[in-house]
Each structure stands twice: as structure tokens, then as C-alpha cells.
């Protein structure tokens, strides 16, 4: 499977199997069966109602996210680093194109962590890797959004190299390594959200790049009960966890060996 085919299949597949979308398909099946006065309508209707009740009363999304976020804890900060690699994670280029203002949303934690690291380590090179994740459109790459945000955070543009062609996490690492040309023994920090770090580190291993994981931000606590319940947030976190888990599985099944950087 070519990278473009993998990207296309993964986008379409995720649209079909995302937990929030499966709830819609289930509700739609119940409505169709009910419209035909079919007694089987009670099965999908009950399944949908019970699922929503569980999501309303139990932090299922955080339970699913916590193991992913705990897999790579943030280590002690090195005294000196050679480079900072930061991955795009859904920055909205269309908002920047339409409004002239970066569309950061909930995905800006990586940029804040990058700016902070760059200030503490003026010796480090910074590489941002992120193209457009849109399917079938020439969307504005995440690299352009990151350029605006990092400049606003005071990071000198001459310190940052922007890779704007990658569409998947594996492509992030392949193209960023080709751009950075890291030397053996160098210390590079890989900046990504904690929930995304397992797939990012798997991709780094695929391209043979030894990096130090640097989780930028977390959505769950390390342990203990969750006291603030929200159906919308719970379902969003469940979607995130499912997306990363399925992504890890797909990467392991479709990429048997290292990629050529």
C-alpha cells in the first residue's frame, strides 16, 4: 500500500468506525427499523441509549486515554539538547486561511512546550513537521499555522525548519529526519501530546531515529477518580483513545520494517 493509499484508507475507515460516529449509525439503524415498524428497532435503540448513559455517568474516555498517556512519562530535562522535533496534531489551516488568525484550538500544547524548550535551550535546532491532514483538498499545512504561533510566542523564525508535506505521523518522522539529518549520538526531544506519543515513538523507531519523548500536555490525571463528567468531553476523549489505538494497530500491521528516510 502506498503512503497516499494508506492515508486515504485510514481517513475513510476512521470516519466509519469512530465511536461517536458508530453511535450515529446505531441511532440511524434504530430510526429506520422503527419507521418500518420492525420489532428489532428496540435492539439498536437500547444499545444507543445505554451507551450514552454510560458515557454520561462514567469517565470511559479518560479510562481509555490514561494508559496511552502514561506509556511515555516526561523524563528529566537534559542539560543540553541538539534538536527539538515537534509534530503537527490537527492545527486548523483553514481558519488561518479564512480569518488570518491561527486556528490552534485544543492542539496548541505542543507549540507552547516547543517555545518553552527553545527559550531554555538556545543551542537547539527546532524542526516542525506537519502538512495538511485534509482528504482530497489542498488544505493549508499545519506548518503555516505553527509558523504564525511560534513567531507570536517570540521564537526566531531562523531557528525553525518547517516540513509541510507530511500527512501521517510516519511521514512526519520520515520527512523530518530527511530535513534534520541528525548525527549519531545527538540528543533530540520529540514533542507531542501524551496521548499521541506512543504512535510518534513507534514511527521514530520505524525510521531509525533515536529520540527522547517529551510529552507536551495531558488530558487525564495519573491516577484517582474523575470528578468532572461531561458527555461531550467523555465522547471526545473516547474518540481520541480509539483513534490512537487503531492507529498503532494499523502501523504495526502495515509497516513491518524500518522506512527509508
Q: What pLDDT, in 10s, does the model give residues 144-153?
A: 999 999 999 9
Task: Please write down the long-range contacts of 33-36, taking CB distance under 8 Å and 24 or more positions apart.
Answer: none
Q: How many angstroms separate the Cα of 153 from the Cα of each of 51, 86, 96? A: 42, 15, 17
Q: Is 24 exposed, middle or buried (0-12, 13-18, 19+ CB in 10 A)?
A: exposed
The domain made up of 83-215 is a member of CATH 3.40.50.720:
no
39-54: b or e for each residue (b if 16 or more CB lie within 10 Å)?
eebeebbebbeebeee
Q: Which residue has the higher pLDDT, 92 or 141?
A: 141
Q: Is 4 left (phi over 0), alpha (psi -120 to 50) or beta?
A: alpha
The string of pLDDT tens digits covering residues 101-136 is 887 777 789 999 999 999 999 999 999 999 987 776
The string of pLDDT tens digits covering residues 63-80 is 999 999 999 999 999 999
The string of pLDDT tens digits covering residues 11-52 is 899 999 999 999 999 999 999 999 998 989 999 999 999 999
Domain residue limits, the chain: 3-70+229-254, 83-215
Q: State whether residue 91 is helix, strand or coil.
A: coil
The Cβ of residue 9 has, within 10 Å, a number of other Cβ atoms equal to 13
Predicted model pTM: 0.89
The string of pLDDT tens digits covering residues 197-222 is 999 999 999 999 999 999 999 999 88
Residue 147 CA to residue 161 CA, distance in Å, equals 10
Residues 6+ apart with CB under 8 A from 228: none
Instruction: Identify the band that residue 255 occupies on the pLDDT scale cut at 50, 70 and 90.
Output: low
Amino acid at each position: 500500500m502506498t503512503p497516499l493509499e494508506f492515508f486515504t484508507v485510514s481517513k475513510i475507515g476512521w470516519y466509519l468506525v469512530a465511536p461517536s460516529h458508530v453511535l450515529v449509525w446505531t441511532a440511524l439503524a434504530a430510526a429506520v427499523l422503527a419507521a418500518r415498524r420492525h420489532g428489532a428497532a428496540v435492539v439498536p435503540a437500547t444499545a444507543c441509549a445505554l451507551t450514552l448513559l454510560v458515557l454520561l455517568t462514567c469517565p470511559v474516555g479518560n479510562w481509555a486515554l490514561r494508559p496511552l498517556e502514561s506509556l511515555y512519562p516526561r523524563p528529566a530535562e537534559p542539560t543540553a539538547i541538539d534538536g527539538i522535533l515537534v509534530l503537527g496534531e490537527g492545527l486548523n489551516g483553514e481558519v488561518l486561511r479564512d480569518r488570518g488568525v491561527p486556528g490552534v484550538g485544543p492542539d496548541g500544547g505542543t507549540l507552547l512546550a516547543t517555545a518553552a524548550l527553545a527559550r531554555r535551550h538556545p543551542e537547539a535546532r527546532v524542526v516542525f513537521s506537519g502538512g495538511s491532514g485534509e482528504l482530497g483538498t489542498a488544505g493549508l499545512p499545519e506548518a503555516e499555522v505553527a509558523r504564525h504561533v511560534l513567531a507570536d510566542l517570540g521564537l526566531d523564525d531562523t531557528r525553525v525548519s518547517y516540513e509541510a508535506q507530511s500527512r501521517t505521523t510516519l511521514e512526519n518522522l520520515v520527512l523530518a529526519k530527511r530535513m534534520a539529518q541528525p548525527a549519531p549520538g545527538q540528543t533530540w526531544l520529540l514533542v507531542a501530546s501524551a496521548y499521541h506519543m506512543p504512535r510518534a515513538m513507534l514511527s521514530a523507531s520505524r525510521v531509525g531515529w533515536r529520540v527522547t519523548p517529551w510529552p507536551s500536555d495531558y488530558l487525564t490525571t495519573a491516577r484517582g477518580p474523575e470528578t468532572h463528567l461531561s458527555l461531550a468531553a467523555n465522547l471526545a476523549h473516547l474518540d481520541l483513545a480509539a483513534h490512537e489505538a487503531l492507529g498503532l494497530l494499523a502501523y504495526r500491521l502495515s509497516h513491518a520494517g524500518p522506512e527509508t528516510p
